[in-house]
């Protein structure tokens, strides 16, 4: 028996007709969704090409002979690609050594700032001591002092310590950051103080609380801080220029400036050097950006490993959510 449906003020409509209308509406909605998705993808591609155009053109210039670059025609793509620019850049300066120095310097500065800033932010967030707010405001006030105002005094200090032309002179002055302390402190403020008090009741010390409970919950802040710090340390130019004098300790930014000279070929050499130093930095930043996913990957690759810190952090986080729901 055919099933029908009576609509007020209209004739009876069969179930098959209702299904057809629903299918037509679903197809129309799916078409609209696909059009919107396609338009969004096309817009993203266009914006990405616009943003990446300088980088793509730099890669193209790196493969151009000098004769193709200085012409009246606009050559976006090299007609005769060559690797000579890269070879001559590596011969003219020890670029590999400069890249290694920059990686060591930027990596140690990043690790040092994450550790020191997280410890300082923990003190400003969870500990109670006299003058805490005044000390925090004093730390924040240092952000208003330009680096050029202290560079001479820092140079005189490290020169008295005989630190010139060494790794410690590149790393030690940048092992902490007021911006990093502020970033971690504001992130830690999102955790209730009861989290710290419960851990203390269970016999958890301050360092154990930081490294086994607090840091596993702040992977996103660590990733943001790592990318920000690494980029700033990688791009340092003025300080390494003042305190280093040999090719064994110079960084990559100084090396790129050494490729610049009065001849026309220096531009292609410099662009080739820039392309070579961009690739390692992009790879390193991608690793830092994927830091929150490293925990899942580590657990999947080491199913029998000790994941107690991760479990403790997850249990504490669930307890926090349940407590907020009860409130």
Q: Is residue 118 part of a domain?
A: yes
Q: What is the mean pLDDT of residues 159-163?
A: 93
pLDDT in tens, 248-257: 899 998 988 8
Q: Is residue 141 part of a domain?
A: yes
Q: Is residue 119 part of a domain?
A: yes
pLDDT in tens, 144-156: 888 888 899 999 9
Q: Is residue 175 part of a domain?
A: yes
pLDDT in tens, 277-302: 887 667 666 665 555 555 554 445 54
Domain check: are 158 and 10 in the same one? no
- In this prediction, residue 305 carries a pLDDT of 43
Q: What is the mean pLDDT of residues 51-78?
A: 82
Q: Where are the alpha helices (DSSP H) in 127-249?
A: 132-141, 147-160, 167-171, 178-188, 193-201, 206-209, 219-234, 238-243
Domain check: are 42 and 172 in the same one? no
Count of the separate structural domains present in the chain:
2
Q: What is the mean pLDDT of the chain?
A: 81
CA distance 18 to 11: 13
Which residue range forms the structural domain that includes residue 223?
A: 93-258+290-326
Domain check: are 38 and 124 in the same one? no
Does 7 have pLDDT greater than 70? Answer: no
Domain check: are 49 and 186 in the same one? no
Domain check: are 99 and 43 in the same one? no
Domain check: are 99 and 153 in the same one? yes
Q: Is residue 223 part of a domain?
A: yes
CA-CA-CA-CA torsion sign (167, 169, 172, 174): negative
Q: Is residue 276 part of a domain?
A: no
Q: Is residue 100 part of a domain?
A: yes
CATH number for the domain including 215?
Answer: 1.10.3720.10
C-beta separation of 286 from 205 below 8 A: no
Domain check: are 48 and 194 in the same one? no
Domain check: are 103 and 38 in the same one? no
Q: Is residue 214 part of a domain?
A: yes
Domain check: are 178 and 105 in the same one? yes
Angle value at C-alpha 291, between 287 and 295, nearest 5 degrees: 130
Distances in Å between the Cα of 94 and the Cα atoms of 171, 250, 255, 273 are 21, 10, 8, 11
Please state, for a pLDDT cut of 90, what percent of the chain lies above it: 31
Domain check: are 103 and 243 in the same one? yes
- In this prediction, residue 322 carries a pLDDT of 45
CA distance 308 to 314: 10
CA distance 104 to 106: 6
DSSP annotation of 144: G
C-beta separation of 292 from 215 below 8 A: no
C-beta separation of 253 from 240 below 8 A: yes
Least confident of 48-52, 69-73, 98-102, 214-218: 69-73
Does 185 have pLDDT greater than 80? Answer: yes
Domain check: are 129 and 232 in the same one? yes
Query: What are the phi and psi torsion angles at 13 (to 5°)?
Result: -120, 130
SS (H, E, C) 36-74: HHHHHHHHHHHHHHHHHHHHHHHHHHHCCCHHHHCCCCC
C-beta separation of 183 from 224 below 8 A: yes
Domain check: are 50 and 97 in the same one? no
Q: What is the mean pLDDT of residues 261-278?
A: 76
């Amino acid at each position: 028996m055919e099933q029908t449906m009576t609509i007020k003020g209209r004739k009876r409509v069969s179930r098959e007709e209702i299904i057809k209308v629903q299918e037509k509406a679903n197809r129309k909605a799916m078409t609209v969704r696909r059009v919107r998705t396609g338009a969004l993808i096309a817009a993203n591609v266009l914006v990405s090409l616009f943003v990446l155009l300088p980088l793509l053109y730099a890669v193209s210039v790196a493969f151009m002979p000098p004769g193709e670059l200085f012409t009246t025609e606009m050559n976006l793509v090299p007609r005769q690609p060559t690797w000579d620019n890269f070879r001559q850049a590596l011969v003219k300066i020890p670029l590999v050594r400069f890249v290694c120095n920059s990686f060591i310097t930027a990596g140690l500065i990043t690790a040092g700032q994450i550790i020191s800033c997280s410890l300082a932010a923990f003190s400003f967030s969870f500990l109670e001591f006299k003058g805490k707010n005044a000390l925090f405001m004093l730390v924040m006030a240092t952000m208003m002092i330009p680096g050029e105002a202290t560079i001479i005094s820092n140079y005189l200090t490290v020169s008295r310590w005989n630190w010139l032309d060494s790794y410690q002179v590149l790393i030690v002055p940048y092992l902490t950051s007021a911006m990093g302390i502020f970033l971690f402190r504001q992130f830690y403020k999102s955790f209730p103080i009861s989290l710290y008090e419960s851990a203390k009741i269970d016999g958890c010390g301050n360092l154990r609380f930081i490294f086994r409970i607090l840091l596993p919950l702040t992977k996103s802040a660590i990733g943001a801080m790592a990318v920000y710090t690494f980029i700033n340390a990688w791009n340092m130019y003025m300080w390494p220029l003042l305190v280093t004098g040999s090719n064994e300790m110079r960084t990559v930014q100084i090396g790129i400036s050494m490729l610049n000279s009065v001849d026309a070929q220096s531009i292609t050499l410099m662009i080739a050097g820039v392309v070579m130093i961009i690739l390692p930095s992009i790879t390193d930043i991608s690793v830092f950006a994927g830091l929150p996913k490293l925990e899942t990957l580590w657990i999947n690759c080491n199913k029998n490993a000790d994941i107690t810190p991760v479990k403790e952090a997850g249990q504490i986080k669930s307890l926090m959510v349940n407590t907020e729901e009860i409130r």
